[in-house]
Chain A
Amino acid sequence: MNNQTVYLCATTDDQSEVEALQKVVQESFSTASITVVAFQSEALDQTKFQASFDQNVDAITFLNVEKLSVLDPNAVAKAYNQYFQKNDAGRIIFYANRFNNGIAARVAASNLSAIVTDVEKIEATDDHLNLVKKSYSGALKRQITVTDAAPLIITVNNSNITLEKVAAKETAVTEETLSIDYQVPKTAVYKSLVDNDNLNLDNAEVVVAGGRGLKGAEEFKNLEKLAENLSAAVGASRPVVDNGWVPNTLMVGQSGKSIEPDIYFAFGISGAVQHTVGIENVKTIVAINSDEKAPIFKIADYGIVGDAKEVIEKMTEITAQK
C-alpha cells in the first residue's frame, strides 16, 4: 500500500495552493512516489507553477483541455477522470478550497472512491492513513482512518504548517492534451475575484472587523475611518451582512472568507465558532466587547471590555496623530 503513487492536483498557481501541496510532501509523503497533475488554464500558468514548485517530486504533468473557453469545474473534473482512468490512481490530493472540493467530489463520484475534504492532518503509517478534519463547522474535530482504499481522494487545509526550503532535484515535466465530452454553459463567464490592486481582506496585514455590537451601518463609517488610519481592511460578521450594513464580500467565517492578517480587531463580535473558524490562522487577535464573558475573549491575545463605539473613536484619535 505504501508504494502507491501520490497524485498532487492543482487548478491554480496561487501561492497558497502550491505551498499546501508541497507541505503534504514534506509532512506525510517524503518517501513516496509523487506525481503533480496541474490543470492548465487562465488560473494556472505553466511557467509560474513550475518555478514555484520546488519540493522533490518525481514528475509534473500539465493537463490541457482542447478548446476549453472557461474554467468550468465539470470540464476540469472530466479531464482528471480521463487522466486517472489511464493512470492507476492511488491517492489523489487537492488543496482544499470551495472550487477544488467540487472537483474532488466529482472525481470521487465518478470512480466511487473514498473522499475526505478539508483535512488538517495526514499521518501515513505502513498500512493506513490517519486523517483529522474539522467537523461541526469547527466546534469539533473528527478522526478518520483509511485502510487500503484506492483510490482515495483528499483535499488538504494545512496552512498551520511551515514549509521548509529544499534543494529540489530535476523533475520530468510532461504535457498531456485531452479532449473531453462537455459543453460549457451558454454565455459562460469565469472571473477571478482576486484583487491585488486594492487593499482588501485577502491582502491586508491589519483587519478591523465589526459585529452586531456596532448596532448599525452608521458605526461602520467610523470603523472605515479607523481602517484608513491603520491601513487596514474592514471585515464583518454574518448578521452585519444579513442586515445589509455592509456588502457580502466583507463577511469573515464559515460562509465568508478565511483570512490571515497579522492582526485582527474584533469590535462587538461575540466569537461564534462559525465566525472564528475564519480567523484561526491570525497571529494576533484583539477583542473589544462590552460583555467580559463573550467567547471571543478566549481566543484573543489582547482585549478591552467596553463599548465598541467609544473604543473606535478613541483609537481613531490616537492613530490620526501619527
Chain B
Amino acid sequence: MNIVVYVKAMVDPDKASDDLTLVSEPAKNGTAVILNPYDKNAIEVALQLKEKYTGEVTAVSFGGDIETEKVLREALSLGCDHAFKVNDEGYESLDAFSPMLGSVLGKVPVADVSYFITGREAADDNQSIIGASIAAAVDADFVDNVDEIEFLENHSLKLVSRWDQSELSGIYEKTPLVISVTDTINTPRLPSFKAKMQAKKAKLDEVKVSDLTDLDLTQLNNLREKVDSTGVFEPEVINKENIIYDLEQDEQAVDKLMDNLKEKGIL
C-alpha cells in the first residue's frame, strides 16, 4: 500500500502581480517559487495515511527543473520518502487547460499505489481539474474537496466532501482511490531543521514525458494546439471614490459615517 502525493511549484501570487514576466518564467527568480499552498494539506494527508496504515509516500511534481526540485525537497523535508521529477520537456503549458497532465501524472511509475492525493486546486491557475484526470488515467474513483478524513479499520476511510452549498460523507473501502483535499482539512506540519538539511542532499528520481510509454503524444499535441493562453494581465483597478474618516482627528467619525450611510439609503 503506497501513497502518491502530487505537488506543484508556482509563483507567489504577490510576487507574480509585481512582475508579470515571472508567470511564464518562474525560474528567473527562484525565491518567488513556492509550493502550492493546497499541496501542503495534501502532503499532510499522505503522511497521516502512511502513519495510520503503512506504505511509503512518493511526492511527484511536473514542471521545469528548478521549480520542481525546490518543491520536491520541501515535500521530502516534511517526511515524504521519495520524490519524482517529471521533466516537462516544453510541455509546460499542457497542464492548465486540459486533462492531459493528469494522463501524464497517472503514468509515473510508482508501484502498488492505493491512494493518490492532490490539493483542491493550484493557487496559480485556479482550475481544480487535476484530481479528476488522474482518476481517469488510473481508472480509480475520485473523491473531491475532502474536508474531513477519518481512518477506520481495514484501510477504509470515512471522507466528507464539502462544496459551497452541500456536503457528502461516506465510507470508502475500494482502492486505488484519488482524493483531492481542501486547505481546511488539517494543519500541515512544519519540517525540522535536520529534515531540511537531509532533504537538501536527497536524490530525486526523474522521468521525462517522452519516457512514459503508452502515452498518446499526438492527442496531447492536438489538444494543445487548440487552447492557447495569451497571457495574464492585471485586473482593472476601479478607482473608487471613497470617503474615509479618521477617528483620531475627528471624534464624530463614527456618527458621521452612520449618518452618511443612512442618508444614502444604504443602511
Residue of B127, B182, B240, B255 near A117 (CB, 8 A) is B127
Q: Are A112 and B219 in contact (CB under 8 A)?
A: yes
Residue of A137, A140, A193, A262 near B233 (CB, 8 A) is A140
Q: Are A105 and B167 in contact (CB under 8 A)?
A: no
Binary CB contact string for chain B from 128 to 153 against chain A (1 if under 8 A, 0 otherwise): 11011101110001101100000000
Q: Are A143 and B100 in contact (CB under 8 A)?
A: no
Q: Which residues of A contact B266 (CB under 8 A)?
A: 262-263, 283-284
What's the nearest-Cβ distance from chain A to residue B51, in Å?
Answer: 23
Residue of B233, B243, B253 near A143 (CB, 8 A) is B233
Q: Are A136 and B13 in contact (CB under 8 A)?
A: yes
CA distance A148 to B182 in the complex (A): 34
Q: Which of B54-110 contact A (CB under 8 A)?
A: 97-100, 102-103
Q: Are B132 and A117 in contact (CB under 8 A)?
A: no
Q: Which residues of A contact B246 (CB under 8 A)?
A: 292, 304-306
Cβ-based interface call for A74 (8 A) = yes
Q: Contacts A109-B135, A306-B253 given: A186-B167 contact, CB under 8 Å?
A: no
Q: Which of A127-177 contact B (CB under 8 A)?
A: 133-149
CA distance A304 to B257 in the complex (A): 8
Q: Which of B195-231 contact A (CB under 8 A)?
A: 219, 223, 225-231
Q: Which residues of B contact A248 (CB under 8 A)?
A: 184
What's the nearest-Cβ distance from chain A to residue B35, in Å?
Answer: 15
Q: Contacts A140-B20, A140-B235, A191-B167 given: A302-B257 contact, CB under 8 Å?
A: yes
Q: Are B234 and A140 in contact (CB under 8 A)?
A: yes
Q: Which residues of A contact B11 (CB under 8 A)?
A: 136
Residue of A71, A98, A105, A318 near B99 (CB, 8 A) is A105
Cβ-based interface call for A212 (8 A) = no
Cβ-based interface call for B190 (8 A) = no
Cβ-based interface call for A216 (8 A) = no
Q: Are B235 and A304 in contact (CB under 8 A)?
A: no
Binary CB contact string for chain A from 111 to 133 against chain B (1 if under 8 A, 0 otherwise): 01111111000000000000001
The chain B residue sitting closest to A100, CB to CB, is: B163
CA distance A206 to B219 in the complex (A): 51
Binary CB contact string for chain A from 242 to 258 against chain B (1 if under 8 A, 0 otherwise): 10000010010001011
Chain-B contact segment, one of A21-29, A54-62, A293-301: A293-301
The chain A residue sitting closest to B124, CB to CB, is: A136
Q: Are B168 and A146 in contact (CB under 8 A)?
A: no
Cβ-based interface call for A213 (8 A) = no
Q: Are B228 and A145 in contact (CB under 8 A)?
A: yes
What interface size band does chain A fall in?
A: 35 or more
CA distance A138 to B235 in the complex (A): 8
Cβ-based interface call for B23 (8 A) = yes
Residue of A136, A146, A311 near B227 (CB, 8 A) is A146
Q: Are A114 and B227 in contact (CB under 8 A)?
A: yes
The chain A residue sitting closest to B125, CB to CB, is: A135
CA distance A74 to B168 in the complex (A): 12
Chain-A contact segment, one of B1-9, B42-50, B170-178: B170-178
Q: Which residues of A contact B244 (CB under 8 A)?
A: 292, 297, 300, 302-305
Q: Contacts A139-B13, A188-B170, A304-B246 given: A108-B98 contact, CB under 8 Å?
A: yes
What's the nearest-Cβ distance from chain A to residue B166, in Å?
Answer: 5
Q: Contacts A185-B172, A193-B165, A255-B184 given: A109-B17 contact, CB under 8 Å?
A: no
What's the nearest-Cβ distance from chain A to residue B137, in Å?
Answer: 8
Q: Are A307 and B164 in contact (CB under 8 A)?
A: no
Q: Which residues of B contact A303 (CB under 8 A)?
A: 242-245
Cβ-based interface call for B31 (8 A) = no
Q: Are B228 and A147 in contact (CB under 8 A)?
A: yes
Q: Which residues of B contact A305 (CB under 8 A)?
A: 244-248
Q: Which residues of A contact B237 (CB under 8 A)?
A: 298
Q: Which residues of B contact A135 (CB under 8 A)?
A: 124-126, 232
Q: Are B226 and A147 in contact (CB under 8 A)?
A: yes
CA distance A188 to B228 in the complex (A): 40
Interface centre among A71, A258, A304, A307 (most CB of B within 10 A): A304
A-B contact pairs, 21 of them (CB 8 A): A73-B144, A73-B168, A74-B141, A97-B165, A104-B129, A106-B142, A108-B98, A109-B99, A112-B99, A135-B125, A139-B13, A140-B23, A140-B234, A188-B170, A202-B165, A255-B183, A263-B261, A292-B244, A304-B245, A311-B254, A314-B254
By Cβ-Cβ distance, the 8 closest A-B pairs, closest first, are: A306-B247, A185-B170, A105-B132, A109-B136, A188-B170, A149-B226, A136-B13, A99-B163
By a beta-carbon cutoff of 8 Å, the part of chain B in contact with chain A is 11, 13-14, 16-17, 20, 23, 97-100, 102-103, 120, 123-129, 131-133, 135-137, 141-142, 144-145, 159, 161-173, 182-184, 187, 219, 223, 225-235, 237-238, 240, 242-248, 253-255, 257-258, 260-261, 266-267
Given contacts A99-B165, A109-B135, A113-B99, 17 further A-B contacts (CB under 8 A): A71-B168, A77-B132, A98-B120, A98-B144, A116-B97, A116-B227, A136-B17, A136-B126, A140-B235, A142-B233, A145-B228, A148-B226, A186-B172, A193-B162, A263-B267, A302-B242, A304-B253
By a beta-carbon cutoff of 8 Å, the part of chain A in contact with chain B is 12, 14, 43, 70-74, 77, 97-99, 101-102, 104-106, 108-110, 112-118, 133-149, 184-194, 202, 206, 230, 241-242, 248, 251, 255, 257-258, 262-263, 273, 283-284, 286, 292, 297-307, 310-311, 314-315, 318-319
